[in-house]
Chains A and B, each alone.
Chain A
Amino acid sequence: MNIRTESVRAPGYLATLAARERWGRSEIAFWLVLVAVYFLLPNNLMFASQILITGLFALSLDLILGYAGIVTLGHAAFFGLGAYTAGLLTKTGYTEPASGLMVAGLVAGAFGYLSSYLVLRGRDLSRLMITLGIGLLLYEVANRATDITGGVDGLQGIAVGKVFGLFAFDLYGKTAYLYVLVVSFLLFVMVRSLMTAPYGLSLRSIRENQQRAVAIGIPIRARLTNIYTLSAVIAGIAGALLTQTTQFVAIDVFAFQRSADLLIVLLIGGTATLYGGFVGAAVFLLAQDWLSSINAEYWLFWLGLLLIITTRYLRTGVMGGLKSLQRLAARAKPGEES
Chain B
Amino acid sequence: MNKFLNRLSALLAAFTLAWTAQPALAQEVIKIGVILPLTGPYADYGEEIGNGLKLYMKQNGDTVAGKKISIIIRDDTGIAPEVSKRLAQEFLVQDKVDILAGFGLTPSALAVAPLATQAKKAMVIMNAATSVITTKSPYIVRLSHTLPQISAPMATYAAKQGIKKVYTLVADFGPGIDAETAFKKAFEATGNKLIGGVRVPVTNVDFASYIQRIKDAAPEAVFLFLPPGSATISFLKAYKERGLDKAGIILLATVDFADDNLMDALGTSVLGLVSSGHYSAAHDSPMNKAYVQAYVAAYGTKMRPNFMSVAGYDGMAAIYAALKKTNGDADGDKLVAAMKGLQFESPRGPVMIDPETRDIIQTVYYRRAEEKNGKLYNIEFDQIKNVKDPGK
Q: Which residues of A contact B (CB under 8 A)?
A: 19, 24-27, 29-30, 33, 37, 40-44, 46-47, 50, 140, 143-144, 146, 150-154, 156, 171-173, 242, 246-248, 250-252, 255, 275, 279, 282-283, 286, 289-290, 292-293, 296-300, 318-319, 322-323, 325-326, 329-330, 337
Contacts and interface: CB of A to CB of B under 8 A. Distances in A.
B333 interface: no
A33 B13 contact: yes
Interface centre among B78, B82, B114, by most chain A C-beta atoms within 10 angstroms, is B82
Contacts of B136: 156
Interface of B: 1-9, 11-13, 15-16, 19-21, 38-40, 43, 46-47, 73-75, 77-82, 85-86, 89-90, 92-94, 106-107, 110-111, 114-115, 118-119, 130, 132, 136, 172-175, 177, 201-202
Interface centre among A47, A153, A286, by most chain B C-beta atoms within 10 angstroms, is A153
Contact of B2 (A25, A37, A40): A25
Contacts of B107: 152-154, 248, 250-252
B79 A251 contact: yes
A329 B5 CA distance: 14
A173 B81 contact: no
A260 B128 CA distance: 27
Given A26-B2, A41-B20, A153-B130, A325 B13 contact: no
Contact of A322 (B8, B40, B90): B8
12 contacts: A25-B2, A26-B8, A29-B9, A40-B16, A154-B110, A250-B81, A252-B80, A279-B8, A299-B75, A322-B7, A329-B3, A330-B3
Given A242-B82, A248-B82, A319-B4, 6 more contacts: A40-B16, A46-B85, A152-B107, A247-B114, A296-B38, A296-B46
Contact of A246 (B75, B85, B175): B85
B285 to A, nearest CB: 32
Contacts of A246: 81-82, 85-86, 111
Contacts of B11: 322
Given A29-B5, A43-B90, A173-B89, A248 B110 contact: yes
A30 B5 contact: yes
A38 to B, nearest CB: 11
A47 B11 CA distance: 18
Contacts of A297: 38-39, 43, 47
Contacts of A247: 114
A26 B130 contact: no
Given A33-B12, A247-B114, A152 B38 contact: no
A78 to B, nearest CB: 17
B9 A26 contact: yes
B89 A171 contact: yes
B2 A156 contact: no
Contact of A43 (B21, B38, B73, B81): B21
B174 A153 contact: yes
Nearest to A171: B118
A46 B89 contact: yes
B227 to A, nearest CB: 10
Contacts of B78: 252
Contacts of A143: 172-173, 202
Leading 10 A-B pairs by shortest Cβ distance: A26-B5, A24-B2, A296-B75, A322-B4, A296-B38, A154-B107, A248-B111, A43-B94, A26-B2, A250-B81
Contacts of A154: 81, 106-107, 110-111
A23 to B, nearest CB: 9
A25 B7 CA distance: 12
Contacts of A152: 79, 106-107, 173-175, 202
Contacts of B6: 25-26, 29
A26 B13 CA distance: 13
A299 B37 CA distance: 12
Contacts of B75: 292-293, 296, 299
B111 A30 contact: no
B174 A151 contact: yes
A154 B105 CA distance: 11
Contacts of B5: 24, 26-27, 29-30, 275, 322
A323 B8 CA distance: 10
B172 A144 contact: yes
Given A50-B82, A299-B75, A30 B3 contact: no
B150 to A, nearest CB: 17
A25 B3 CA distance: 9
A153 B110 contact: yes
B174 A37 contact: no
Nearest to B73: A296
B80 A248 contact: no
A188 B74 CA distance: 33
B317 to A, nearest CB: 24
B80 A292 contact: no
Nearest to B9: A29
B16 A37 contact: yes
B38 A150 contact: no
Given A152-B174, A156-B136, A296 B39 contact: yes
A30 B93 contact: no
B81 A50 contact: no
Contact of B8 (A252, A289, A319): A319
A325 B336 CA distance: 57
